[in-house]
Structure 1
Amino acid sequence: MSTKAALFALCACVAWTASARADDSSGPTVSLSLAQAVSLGLAGNLTYRSAQADEEAARARVIQAGAGKVPSADASYTYVHAQNAASFSIPVPGPGGVTFKSFPFSSKDVNSVNATLQYALYTGGAVGAAIGQAASSLAASESQLAATRSTVVRDTTNAYFQLIQARRSSAIAAEAAAVAARNVATANELFRAGSAARADLLKQQLSLANSQVSAITAANAAALANADLANLLDINPGSTIIPTETLSEERQAFSLAELLGRAESRRPEVAASEDAVAIAQQAIESARAGRLPAVALSVQEGSTKPNFVNVPQPQLSETLAATWRLFDGGLTRGKIAEASAQLDKARINVRQIANSVDLEVRQSYLNYVAAGAQVSAARTAQTSADENLRVSRVRFAAGVGTSLELADALLADTTARTQYVGALANLRVTLATLQRAAAL
C-alpha cells in the first residue's frame, strides 16, 4: 500500500463515518446542558408520569376517606302521573230517583320532594382507619414519586456523560487513524530510501487498517449513545445532541457515615417502606371495626302535593340506628389475621430496604473513591503514553526505531487516552449513582 493509498483509505473511512452520521441524523441539532437534559428526561419519562398519576390518585383517596367524618345530605324529587284518579261513589236520592255521585280522593299528578341528612356517629374506628390508610398511602406514593425522579435523574446523567465519553473516544480514534496514516507515509519514505524493510511498511499499513476499524467502531458507538440519550429524553430519535458540559477531574469530598445517615433518613424507598407499616397497622384497626357496633343518625324531610286535602304536608322524621354484627362466620377474625400477617411482612420489608440502601450507599461510595483514583492513574498513563509515542515516532523517522515499536506506542497511546476519557466519564457517572443512593 502506497502513501496515497493509505491517505485515500483514511479519507474514505472519515467520509463513510460522516455519511453514516448524515444518514442517521434526520432531526435537528440540539445543544443541552445537564440540567436541560434532566428536565426533558423528567417530562418525557413514562414511568415518572405514571408515578405522578399514582400520587394524584392517592391524594383523591384521602379526600374520599375523609368524607366519612362529615354528614351526607341527599335530596330527591319524584313526579308521578296516573291515568285515572281514585274515587268513590255514594247514592244520592233525587226527584228522579237515586243517583250515584263520584268523589275523587287522589290526583293524577303527584309531586314529592324529600331531603335526608345522615351522620355516622360511631363506626368502631372504621372511618379513622380508612383515613389513616389513605394518608399513609399518599405518603408512600409521594415517596415512590421521589424515588422514580431520582432514578430518572441518575439514568439521564449517566446517558449524558456516556455520550460525551463516546464522542471523545470517537475523536481520539479518528486522531489515532490520522497519526497512523502519517506513520505509513514516514515508513514509505524510509522504505524507498532503503532505510526500512518492507516488513516495517507492512506493519504500519496494518496499524493504519486497525486504527480505521477502531475509528469506525468508535463513531458507531457515539451514534448509538446519541440515540440512547434521545430515546431517554423522548425527543426526535434522529436529533444530534450536543452536550455542553465538560469532563473534569473535579471531585467532591464525602463522609461515609454522613452518607449512610442521610440515606437512612431521606431515601424515598425507606420512607415508603415505613409508610407501608402504617398502612398495615390501619388495616388491622379497620378489620377490628367489624367487631364493634355502628351508630348512625338520619333526619328526613318529605312532602307530597297534592294529598288528600290537596295541600303540602311536610313530614319530618328522625332515626337513630345502631347496628352490631353478632356473628359473621369468622369473616372479621380472618380479616384481622390477614392484616396482622401483612403488618409483619411490612416490618420485615423495612429491614430489607434498610439493609439494601446501606449496601447501595457503601458500594456507590467506594466506587466513587475508586473512580477518583482511576482518573489520577489514567492521567499519568496518558502522559507517559504520549511521550512514548513522540519518542517512538522520532526514533522511527531517524531509522533507529522499529515499526513494531511505533505501532505498539500508537496503540498504547490510543488506549491510554481512551481510558483517561473513560475514567473522567466514570467519575461523573459514579457521582450521580452516589447522589441517588444517598438522596443528595
Structure 2
Amino acid sequence: MSMKQKMMSLTMLALLILSAGASAEPGKAVSLDDCLAIAMTNALPMTNARLDQNILRMKANKGRSEAFPKISARGDYTRIDVAPVFDTPDGPVELAALDNYSASLNVSQLLFSGGRVGAAIRASRLTTEYSIHNLSETRSALIRDISIDFFAVLLARTAADVQRESEEQLKLFAEHVKAKHESGAVSELDWLAADLRYRNVIPARIAAENAEQLASNALHQRIGLDIDAGYVFAGALVPASMPMTEELAREMSTTNRPAIARMSTTVALLEQGVIAARSPLLPSVSISASLSHANSDGFASSDNWESHWNAGAAIEWSLFDGGLTRADVRQKRFELERQIAEFEDFKRVIRLQIRQAFLAYEQSSKAITAAESAVAIAQKTLALAGVRYDLGLATGLDVAEANVATKQARLALAVAVYEQNVAVAALEHAAGITASTFGPERGK
C-alpha cells in the first residue's frame, strides 16, 4: 500500500472514530458539523460505500489468488463385503483388503499465463485503490448534500420567522386601528380592512411553518435518522466567503477530487483487462506434483501401506478458437477508449461545475448587497408609514403595503444568502475540499 493510500485510510479511520463518538439526543440542538459526524455513521450512502469497499477488497483478494500455488488434500475409505481371492499352489491370496484407506496431496503452480496473472495482481491493487476513492467521493457528495439541506432548514426557518413577524405586525396594527375606531378616530371600514389584512396572512405563516418542518424531516432522513427523532438544527443563515479563486479550484480538483482518482483508476483497470484478454494468444505453463499413500495395492495385504508420487509440467496453447480471443481483445479496447473519453468529459464537467459555482456565488453576492439595501429602506418605510397613519397622512393600505414590501425584502435577502452558501458547498465538492475535511464551519 502506498503512502497516499495509508494516509487516506488513516484519515477515514479517524473520521469514523470521530463520527462514532458523535451523537445527539432527541430535542438537542445540533450544528452542521454535528450532522456531518452523525451521517458518517448513520447515513445509508456511507453504509453502502463501506460495504462496497469490503466487496471490492474481496474481489481484489480473488484476483491475487492465481499467483499462489493450489494445494489440495484428499482421503478415501472403502469397505467391501468379500475380499477377492486368487488360488495359488501355495494357497489362496487375497487381492484386496476388506478395509481400504488412501490419502493424497496435490500441489500445482501456474508459472506463465500470457500475462493474465500479472494483470490480475495489478488489477487487485487497483481495485483496492478504487474502493478507497469511491468511499471518499461518496463522503464528499454526502457532505455537500447535507450542507445544502442544512442551509435549506435555516432558510425555511428564516422564512417562517419573517412570516410570523409580518403577521404579528399586522395583528398589532389591526388592534391599533380597532382602538382608534372605538375612540371614533377612524371608521369601521378602516378597522375591518386592517383586520382582514391580518387574517389574510395567517395561511402564509402556516405554510411557511409546514415548509420548515418538511425541511427538517428531509435533513433527518439525509443524515440517517428517523424523522420523529426531533433534533433541532441550530444555526443562523449568514453570508459565506468564497474559499479560493477559480484557478486554484480547478488546480485542486485535479489532485483532490476523489471522483477523478476513481475514474483514473477505472481506466487503469480496463488497461489490465486488455492485457488479460490477450493472454490466450500466448501459451500457459504450469507444474504439478502429487503424493499418495494407500493400505492396499493389488496383492498387498491391509497391513502393507504403499506410497507413490508423481510430478510434471504442462504447456497449453490455444491455436485457434474461431476468433473469440481477438474479438474479446477488441471489445476490451473499445471499452477502454470509451472510458478514456468519459474521463476527459468528466474533467470538463468538473470545470463547468466550478464555473457555475463561481457564477452563482457572484450572482448571490450582488443579490445580497441589493437585498440588504432593500431591507433597510423597507423597514424605514414601514416605520414612517405607521407614523404617517397616526398623523392622518397615510392610509391603512399604505401600512399594509409597507409590511408586504418589508417581508419580501427580508425573504429575498434570506434566499440570496442561502444561494451563496449553496454555491460555496458546491464549489467545495467540485474542487475536492470536502474529500478530507468537514469544510468551513458555516451555518452555526
Aligned to 1:175: 165
Task: Report the Cα offset of residue 199 of structure 1.
Answer: 4.3
Residue 81 (1) aligns with residue 79 (2): yes
> How big is the shift at 1:328?
0.8
Equivalent-residue separation in structure 2 for 1:239 and 1:56 (angstroms)? 30
**Equivalences for 1:17-32 in 2 at 5 Å?**
28-32=26-30
Superposition deviation, residue 131 in structure 1: 2.2
In the TM superposition, 1:297-336 aligns within 5 A as: 297-307=287-297, 308=300, 310-336=303-329
Change in 2 beyond 3 A, CA 1:253/1:153 = closer
Cα deviation for residue 245 of structure 1 reads: 2.6
Aligned to 1:6: none
AA at the equivalent of 1:205: D
Q: In the aligned structure 2, how far is the partner of 1:416 from the partner of 1:388?
A: 12
Spell out, residue by residue over 1:379-436, the C-alpha distance to the aligned partner (whole angstroms, 9 max, x if none): 2221211111111111112221111211110011112222222333333222211111
The answer as to 2:375 corresponding to 1:377 is: no
User: Do the aligned residues in 2 keep the contact of 1:203 with 1:407 (CA within 8 Å)?
Assistant: no
Q: Secondary structure at the match of 2:101?
A: strand
Q: Which residue of 1 aligns with 2:34?
A: 36
What is the aligned partner in structure 2 of residue 104 from structure 1?
94
Q: What are the residue-to-residue correspondences of 1:129-278 with 2, within 5 Å?
A: 129-278=119-268
Please name the residue that 2:420 is paired with: 427
> 1:8 — aligned with what?
none
Deviation string 1:57-113 (CA, Å, 9 cap, x unpaired) is 111122111121221211111111111112112357xxxxxxxx4321310111111
Q: Which residue of 1 aligns with 2:16?
A: none
Q: State the alpha-carbon separation in 2 of the partners of residues 107 and 401 from structure 1.
A: 121
Q: Post-superposition shift, 1:140?
A: 2.7
Matched, 1:353 2:351: no
Name the counterpart of 1:387: 380
Match of 2:56 among 49, 55, 58: 58
Aligned length: 406
Query: CA–CA distance in 2 between the matches of 1:91 and 1:110?
Result: 27
Q: Aligned partners of 1:248 and 1:128: how far apart in 2?
A: 55
In 2, the alpha carbon distance for the partners of 1:148 and 1:315 equals: 57
Identity across matched positions, percent: 24
Of stretches 271-280 and 233-242 in structure 1, the one that deviates more from structure 2 is: 233-242
Structure 2 residues not aligned, in runs of 5+: 1-24, 434-444
Residue deviations 1:291-317, cap 9 Å, x none? 111110101111111431542222121
With structure 1 as the length reference, what TM-score do the two structures score?
0.87
Q: TM-score, normalised by structure 2?
A: 0.86
Single out whichever of 428-437 and 353-362 deviates more from structure 2: 428-437
Deviates more, 1:384-393 or 1:422-431: 422-431
CA positional deviation for 1:41:
2.4
AA at the equivalent of 2:186: A
User: Using the alignment, how far apart are the partners of 1:180 and 1:417 within structure 2?
Assistant: 16
- Code of the aligned partner of 2:50: Q
Letter in 2 for 1:337: R
Provide the secondary structure at the position in 2 that maps to 1:29. Answer: coil
Q: Contact (CA 8 Å) 1:115, 1:300: kept in 2 or not?
A: yes
Unaligned runs of 5+ in 1: 1-26, 93-100
- Given that 2:29 and 2:234 are in contact with CA atoms closer than 8 Å, whether structure 1 keeps it comes out as yes
* Aligned twin of 1:342: 335
The answer as to 2:121 corresponding to 1:123 is no
Equivalent position to 1:406, from 395, 399, 410: 399
- Give the partner amino acid of 1:156: I
Q: Does 1:437 align with 2:430?
A: yes
CA contact (8 A) 1:42 1:153 kept: no
Task: Choose 257-266 or 198-207, whichever is displaced more.
Answer: 198-207
Q: Could you tell me whether the CA contact under 8 Å between 1:195 and 1:399 is conserved in 2?
A: no
Q: Is the 8 A contact 1:200 1:404 kept in 2?
A: no
Which residue identity does 1:288 align to in structure 2? R
Contact 1:264 1:357 in 2 (8 A): no
CA distance in 2, matches of 1:388, 1:240: 39
Cα distance in structure 1, aligned partners of 2:212 and 2:386 = 29
Q: Distance in 2 between matches of 1:235 and 1:303?
A: 63
Cα shift readout 1:177-210 (whole Å, capped 9, x = no counterpart): 1110111122223334444344433432232022
Matches of 1:210 and 1:154 in 2, distance apart? 38
